[in-house]
Amino acid sequence: MGLDTHVFSKGAEAKLYTTTFCSMPALEKVRNPKKYRPSSLDEKIRRSRTKVEARLLSRAKDAGVLCPLVYSTSEFSITMEKLSGKIFSGKRISHAHAKKFAQMLAALHSLHIIHGDFTPANLMDTKKGIAVIDFGLGFTSHDN
């Protein structure tokens, strides 16, 4: 993390810090240790989830789904594009938005991407369009 970071958001799995990457606004998602897990298991889980999330963000772009661009990764963190917009959580969702959400979900599933938490809280209305954020609980599945 850079020297000019501060906590942007805190979730159950990670903390988001505002930072910069090549002079561009960015977010760094850091998965912190969980004291209730044995350290070797904790490291394995955090390393795997970080790697999977970075890969899913990249593959989501292949599906044509707007999401943050990954700038860099390390063992337990991802530095990504900081999107500007409003989260849909708590807002009344129009029929047109619901249809767009379904199309995005179908596009993800067409590449076997399961978001894991596809809720309005993880959908952001940006100037570029609707973006999907937080693939932290995501995975791939070839089940039909």
Per-residue pLDDT of the chain (144 residues; tens, 9 = 90+): 554 556 677 777 899 999 999 999 999 999 999 999 999 999 999 999 999 999 999 999 999 999 999 999 999 999 999 999 999 987 789 999 999 999 999 999 999 999 999 999 999 999 999 999 999 999 999 885
CATH class of segment(s) 6-140: mainly alpha
Phi, psi of 32 (to 5 degrees): -90, 155
Scanning the structure block, which residue is given the tokens 């606004």? 25
d(CA 43, CA 94) in angstroms, rounded, equals: 42
Q: pLDDT value at position 6?
A: 67
Predicted confidence at residue 5, as pLDDT, reads: 59
pLDDT at 11 (0 to 100): 72
Q: Output the pLDDT for position 3.
A: 45
Cβ-proximal residues to 66 (8 Å cutoff; 6+ apart), any chain: 126, 128, 129, 130, 131, 132
CA 90 to chain centre: 19
Residue 89: its pLDDT value, please? 81
Query: What secondary structure does DSSP assign to 64-120, as a single string?
Result: T-B-PPEEEE-SSEEEEE---EEE-TTSPPPHHHHHHHHHHHHHHHHTTEE-S--SG
Residues with a known catalytic role: 117
Please report the pLDDT score of residue 142 as a whole number: 87
Per-domain boundaries in the chain: 6-140
